Amino acid sequence: MSDPDKECPKPDLSDPANGQKQIYVQAVLSLALGATAFICFCLLRPRWKSLYAARKRQSDAAMSLPELPDTFLGWIPVLYRVTDEEVLASAGLDAYVFLSFFKMAIKLLGTMFLITCIVLVPINKHFDHLPTIGDGADPNIPPEFFSQRHLGGDEWSFHNIYKDFGDRLPDNSYSWAYLVFTYVFSGLIIYFMRRETLKIIQVRQEYLGTQFTITDRTIRLSGIPEELRSEDKIKQFLEKLEIGKVENVSICRNWENLDDMMEKRALVLRRLEEAWATHLGRVKSTAVTAAQLPDPNSEVDDETSGYQESDNLLGDNHVTAYEEPRPSTRLWYGFFGLQSRQVDAIDHYEEQLRKLDDRIQEARKKEYPATPFAFVTMDSIPASQMAVQALLDPSPGQLLAKLAPAPSDIVWRNTYLTRSDRMIRAWVITIFILFLTIFWFIPVVTLGGLVDLCSIRQVWPALANLLESHEILKALVQTGLPTLIISLLNIAVPFLYDYLANQQGMISQGDVELSVISKNFFFTFFNLFLIFTVSGTASKFWPLLQDSLKDTTKIAYNLATSVKGLAIFYTNFILLQSFGLLPFRLLQFGSVFLYPFSRMASKTPRDYAELIQPPVFKYGFYLPSAILIFILCMVYSILPAGYLVLFFGVSYFIFGYYIYKYQLLYAMEHPRHSTGRAWPMICYRILLGLGVFQIVMAALIALQKSFTAAILVIPLIPSTVSYSYYYARTYEPLTKFIALRSIRRESSGDTDIIDGSFGTGRSLGHFRRWSTTIDESREKGANFINPNLITPLEKPWIHQRPVPESHGTSTQIRREESEQSSVSLGDTHVWRDNGNSNV
């Protein structure tokens, strides 16, 4: 019987020289993909401004940003010169924190790359190809010396073999270099993370301390006992605590019936608009800007609009003399809805809308049962901050005060879920994610089998022989295909976790966003890194799992061995991400690909208006991948392939910084704002990666039989754990709350207004705040009231007409368009068309 090891040689993929062909193939593919996407973007950007400059055109917060030239590459220097102050003013704290992580990664990984090139590359080049005692079978020693005859005799003992081949004996002195640089890099990571944390805390405290929004003064109070479930009693209770005056109390009530009617009304409204669009013919012109959209919070003047509640829905002219027959719809009725008849669609939906409007008006006047949840607005920010940082009641789980989300972020349906309902939802989603984690084993372990030619040979010998005879094809299958599939999984799976997070019953969309970050990172780190790495190959996964369960110490050894063996794979993974896939994010390939289908499906003016809205930037989709690449750079920084991993890692964060900076400022909207609360999540995951890095280095050094050096690495692991607790106590509170000393009052003399900006007595460092923050602009006139209680009932969008000429500045024109964007014909809004559609 033939020896499988002889039939299936296992080259050391940790040596970059053995993976040069794979890197070259991956580099060519990545550069071809990335260059194509980047060139397409540069050509399409000035032509499709409604997509690539959507936020600049439609968001007031982005109007102060500099205009980007329409030249091929002229936009790059202008984007480069956009300062952190402008990022804060136009995009807010979340965008600032997100980009700060990329800037920190560039500085840290760049420093590590220089150290690696100067010191570690010569060390690894000199020592890495020497035999390793722990390998058991050394390729540098002739196999005949390991025969039974030699190993069994006294003359040819294992010790004598290495004695006779003394020049081939491994010099483990480089293990001490690994020990030293494990400490050095661990210190650098902590230093850069701490420095960036202090900077973000300072900016956050100054930014939030100088603004005055209703959200900053509002707390969410949960666990309210029944005897306190009234506005007056809650107000009296809080004011007796002498933490401040209560300005307003909004108790959440069970408005589920009203919410259901409003959702049904929105559906009927769309069907009515579609019926009219069918009757009048498809809308030919599609341009509707944000300034032309109705403000749901604005009241409609009945006198100026000509609309009265007693009027018909479409006025007196709703019957038109078109040759085309009016659209119809089938109405089911009778026993079990088995009978049907055709009715006029416009009249039917008009009547449904009228009935719903009457029911909604009546429902808004009713009293609903109170829930143990309320939003309490204090008269000052210090009062609200003292409330959320204190215990209000001695009973566990009762009268718990937390920071309130912004009114626009609240998921009102979840506010009147009971605590048990939310807990059940959370547990069900968690258990489902655990099942998903087990399910992901199958594709991930299968992909691991593609990396190893031996596994392919066991399943498909003919394919293995074909790959052996074609080096380029072998590189494509072994590295290109797995990295591409893992990258696609990394793009597709977040959509599933985003849906699951939205079903979990969280109070605000900001909390949902943070939950998506957590869930997607768990998937990328656990499945795409740990499971894929430990499995190594599909054929070895179950034996390795069994060995690890029998002896937990083998987990670290298996992880270290697999990490070293998959160095080229992860190098190519980061290469594909940085040079190949990041430019496609700039191109917004998904939006471009889906646009023709969405346009063909659009029928009504509302459909066309929604079609050109800026895409939403979701941090939970992009941040976990960046953290994973950061961790991979840490883990491989000292190994022989470290200089390649760090080089491509620095490239990823440089490209990512400017690509995401462009999208956050000019192209994509990000309505959720959690005041930078993602930063501690980033730091904890960096510390998790740092712990994995230290475990891997201890195991790798131990595999070289340098047990003393390996033992000296171990103290770093509890030190990292201890620092995470220290971080939670010292820094994390300042990333959640506003320190009382940071709060400014114009009347206190601590704040000076200079040229429309706020200057303070204390140094703001590089930060200088605009007179109005993006949060203040968003929350102007907002209240903590369920919008279904007060929002004017929206009218159908039917027609469009050309926009009259307007004169004045762009700001004046936008204001005039916003004020005059619609006129009423009876109950029907007539929407204008700018005629400037570009997509």
Q: Which two tokens stand for residue 364?
A: 């808004």
**Which pLDDT belongs to residue 172?**
64
First-to-final CA distance of the chain: 66
**Which pLDDT belongs to residue 360?**
94
What string of H, E and C letters represents the secondary structure of 345-388? Answer: HHHHHHHHHHHHHHHHHHHCCCCCCEEEEEEEEECCHHHHHHHH
Distance CA 798, CA 353 (A): 15
Report for 54-58, 160-164, 803-807, 821-825: range of highest mean pLDDT: 54-58
Which of the pair, 314 or 93, is modelled with greater confidence?
Answer: 93
Residue 99 has pLDDT above 70, yes or no: yes
Strands 769-770, 400-403: pairing is unpaired
Residue 787 has pLDDT above 80, yes or no: yes
Average pLDDT value for residue range 391-397: 88
Between 152-156, 208-212, 559-563, the lowest mean confidence (pLDDT) is in 152-156
Distance CA 265, CA 258 (A): 10
Contact 318, 826 (CB under 8 A): yes
Contact 176, 709 (CB under 8 A): yes
Residue 766 has pLDDT above 60, yes or no: no
Average of per-residue pLDDT values in the chain = 77
- Which segments of the chain belong to CATH 3.30.70.330? 216-255+368-404
**Which pLDDT belongs to residue 614?**
84
Q: How many residues does the chain have?
A: 839
**Which pLDDT belongs to residue 777?**
79
**Which pLDDT belongs to residue 549?**
52
Residue 314 has pLDDT above 50, yes or no: no
**Which pLDDT belongs to residue 148?**
39
**Which pLDDT belongs to residue 338?**
78
Residue 364 has pLDDT above 80, yes or no: yes
Report which residue type is found at 417.
L
Task: List pLDDT tens digits, range 234-293.
Answer: 999 999 998 889 999 999 999 999 999 999 999 999 999 988 888 887 444 333 333 344
Residue 629 has pLDDT above 90, yes or no: yes
Which of the pair, 431 or 772, is modelled with greater confidence?
Answer: 431
Name which of 122, 125, 131, 133 is nearest 167 in CA terms: 131
554 band by pLDDT with thresholds 50, 70 and 90: low
How far, CA to CA in Å, does 489 sit from each of 158, 440, 496, 749?
A: 47, 10, 11, 55
**Which pLDDT belongs to residue 449?**
57
Between 280-294, 299-313, 409-423, 499-513, the lowest mean confidence (pLDDT) is in 299-313
DSSP 3-state percent helix, strand, coil across the chain (nearest 5) = 65, 10, 30
**Which pLDDT belongs to residue 823?**
31
**Which pLDDT belongs to residue 836?**
34
Residue 53 has pLDDT above 70, yes or no: yes
**Which pLDDT belongs to residue 89?**
87
Residue 458 has pLDDT above 60, yes or no: yes
Topology of domain 216-255+368-404 in CATH is Alpha-Beta Plaits (3.30.70)
Distance CA 512, CA 501 (A): 6
Residue 323 has pLDDT above 60, yes or no: no
Task: List pLDDT tens digits, range 518-536.
Answer: 999 998 888 878 777 766 5
- What percent of the chain stands above pLDDT 70? 72
Residue 690 has pLDDT above 90, yes or no: yes
Average pLDDT value for residue range 716-736: 94
**Which pLDDT belongs to residue 447?**
64
Report which residue type is found at 321.
A
The pTM of this model reads 0.80
DSSP string, 134-149: GGSS-TTS-GGGGSHH
**Which pLDDT belongs to residue 57?**
83
Distance of CA 95 to the CA centre of its chain: 11
Q: Vertex 165, ends 163 and 171: CA angle to 5°?
A: 85
* 221, β-bridge pairs: 374, 401
Residue 806 has pLDDT above 50, yes or no: no
Please name the residues in contact with 588: beta carbons below 8 A apart, sequence gap of 6 or more. Answer: 51, 52, 615, 663, 667
460 band by pLDDT with thresholds 50, 70 and 90: low
Average pLDDT value for residue range 420-426: 89
Which of the pair, 284 or 583, is modelled with greater confidence?
Answer: 583
Distance CA 374, CA 232 (A): 12
**Which pLDDT belongs to residue 325?**
78
592 band by pLDDT with thresholds 50, 70 and 90: confident
